[in-house]
Structure 1
């Protein structure tokens, strides 16, 4: 078999053979005898890749047919294709369980690819028992095997029902964190971070992930030292973990706060970093930690000046909560920040609705400080505050939903 294809009954045949069968006038499936609903041939990509890799592993020359360049059409989600993919998944998991090291590496790669093609495939792969075997490959000394297994785990985690299977598998979370910390390749470490982000979409898992030894420290290191993509994976995971109030102390102890402050000036991650800090400073211990960071206030001011609209919202929210929870010293540092008065005034008139509300509330905090008139006198901010007083009064509490960050919970498959 060189070019496997799926017919309408869900059976797989070699393209040349089944095409010849149809050309001879047959309208039934050779194996089942069922009438063919249509004569469209859907490439069985997963099986074709298995053939290619098997030939390579055994030194057998193989030239993929021209049709190998085809991709699954929309019909790939049909019942026939799903059944064929289930059969392929079962075969791959059999290789993961009983194959040689080389066969396991190939199987992990094919599962990674199969898990890219839709929810049905992700569900059937997990149901067939792939997760325990993929977990075993996470600690493989083979860099290719490790990278394929953690990426397969990432793709499977996108399907919500699989998240619980991954988290409930003994040692699986720890193994993912070990890849994040010590993975053989950059891609493996980045995909481990993306997997933690995907899993942390479930609130009950946020604390477990943060408590896993080395997890937050490794995310903070990736945020400081990673590639642009790695930084993005790390900051989105840290943002998710920050939404759980019990994780505040871990974020401080692991130096994640320091990493987030440093990320305020990094394009592509600054918005999420400001959002995470806005959540952390809600608690006095978090406000103290952020206030002790020398560049925190300056970084947030810079975000208010040059950030995206959502970044500005998060920055002013973080400064507001820093004043509320950080005490007099933190408030003084914010009040004395250069150019803050003009930036607040600009937000009061040109910011988004949420940014205007936060800016009005922050200005009201300043009014209660003895130095408020020095910084705001003659700027017309009092008029803006009066105009926004209703919004400011409504802003008496700060919730996780008040932080605006454009993070999609649909993790891109790789």
Structure 2
């Protein structure tokens, strides 16, 4: 796991509005809309973006996408025909606005075979000792099993059938017991983390072995290695549907939030991933929010690596399907870093930030926060200059911001949004065209209503 210093949100300088301070830096001399906007707002000036780009993020971007992107595909698939069973299970819980956002997020990221264990314990364990011969199965295997053999064992289904791994699982569970020493418990958590990495059948075996309740207390360990291994082991185990209920029943949500707040960078990221997986149970979403997960997730938007930002964004997106969690996210200050991420093109986080912004703009407090943070100009800039996917997501977010607010529509017109929206309505994707036309219709109503009111005022003054 690579830990990188995250970007900081610039604070407003003296005499500068919070809106302007939060607005991402724009490219000068590039946009006629920017020039028009500058003429209309002579007192506002862009604040330079943060000077510290994530130096190592390009390397992280080349890694296999984390489990969060994999789970997002599963979430997005519930809105489409590809998985009818998943649709039947979740359709009653998703309202119209959430369904639309899910539909728009089908191509949220590139998906590939995922690596749920993103902390690299394979390399760490492999370097601990030299290769050892794997034990031969036999009647006395449980008594003579050596957990160190896992470090060099081929754990594929062909090379390691369940009956061969079962003694190792039992030995790990014993080593996690309250009578074991801290070193033994730390090592056992790391090995369960390894065993649960790839195979569904092994995850199921571990789930019924009693390992889950034994791992939960390690989430509050003062040993950062033990805490990280426990968080990642529970993440890996949560990929098995049957284990999610067991993890919830074991009381893991609050300790996972604790790890999210206090752990190492990998522990925080993997705890966020585990919470996302548990949020697949709808009733858990309110519980996760009530246990305090939202503020540390918001903190990851500013301080984490690019991969950590992606995981935090996706977890927030899932949790914010609950209205109370939207309110918590807005109160925790999520909108300012989200707007900042919208302005960071090519970072891999821009599109996800737009989707979360659109979700938060579904409530009044969220709409106000988006405007105050400079979200309207940032989204309009994306419609004008961004790639096709960003244009589509930006116009959807703006629809949320402006649909029920004449004031925000007026701000959108003042920002010079009409020309890029017209261009999008003519050349975008089918969905982007439809959304752009809808938003243009709102703006036409706004201007016509203003004209009628102005005419009435003039007529009244002349009658006098």
TM-score (norm 2): 0.63
Once residues 81 and 74 of structure 1 are traced to their aligned partners in structure 2, the CA distance between those partners, rounded to angstroms, is 5
Once residues 224 and 124 of structure 1 are traced to their aligned partners in structure 2, the CA distance between those partners, rounded to angstroms, is 38
* CA-to-aligned-CA distance 1:196-246 (integer Å, 9 cap, x gap): 222223322222111212x11100111111111111111111111122233
Matched, 1:358 2:435: yes
Aligned partner of 2:375 in structure 1 is: 296
Describe how 1:309-324 pairs up with structure 2 within 5 A: 309-324=388-403
Question: Does structure 1 conserve the Cα–Cα contact (< 8 Å) formed by 2:175 and 2:188?
Answer: yes
Aligned partner of 2:324 in structure 1 is: 246
Listed as ranges, the gaps of 5+ residues in structure 2 are 1-130, 452-464
Aligned partner of 2:410 in structure 1 is: 332
1:3 is displaced (CA, Å) by 0.8
1:302 is displaced (CA, Å) by 2.7
1:120 is displaced (CA, Å) by 0.9
* CA-to-aligned-CA distance 1:111-145 (integer Å, 9 cap, x gap): 00000121111111111111111111111111211
Matched, 1:201 2:280: yes
Question: Does structure 2 conserve the Cα–Cα contact (< 8 Å) formed by 1:224 and 1:263?
Answer: no
Aligned partner of 1:369 in structure 2 is: 446
| Aligned residues between the structures | 315
The change in CA–CA distance for 1:219 and 1:89 in structure 2 (over 3 A counts) is same
Aligned partner of 2:158 in structure 1 is: 75
Aligned partner of 2:164 in structure 1 is: 84
Once residues 299 and 387 of structure 2 are traced to their aligned partners in structure 1, the CA distance between those partners, rounded to angstroms, is 25
Aligned partner of 2:133 in structure 1 is: 3
Matched, 1:272 2:352: yes
Question: Does structure 1 conserve the Cα–Cα contact (< 8 Å) formed by 2:147 and 2:168?
Answer: no
How big is the alpha-carbon RMSD for the aligned residues of Structure 1 and Structure 2?
2.6
1:180 is displaced (CA, Å) by 0.9
Once residues 162 and 73 of structure 1 are traced to their aligned partners in structure 2, the CA distance between those partners, rounded to angstroms, is 21
Aligned partner of 1:164 in structure 2 is: 245
Larger radius of gyration between Structure 1 and Structure 2: 1
Aligned partner of 1:144 in structure 2 is: 225
Describe how 1:63-142 pairs up with structure 2 within 5 A: 68=152, 71-73=154-156, 75-76=158-159, 81-97=161-177, 98-142=179-223
Question: Does structure 2 conserve the Cα–Cα contact (< 8 Å) formed by 1:224 and 1:262?
Answer: no
TM-score (norm 1): 0.70
Question: Does structure 2 conserve the Cα–Cα contact (< 8 Å) formed by 1:93 and 1:129?
Answer: yes
Once residues 362 and 229 of structure 2 are traced to their aligned partners in structure 1, the CA distance between those partners, rounded to angstroms, is 39
Q: Which has the higher contact order (CA 8 A, sep 6+)?
A: 2
SS in 1 for 2:269: helix
Once residues 166 and 155 of structure 2 are traced to their aligned partners in structure 1, the CA distance between those partners, rounded to angstroms, is 16
SS in 1 for 2:447: coil
SS in 2 for 1:201: coil
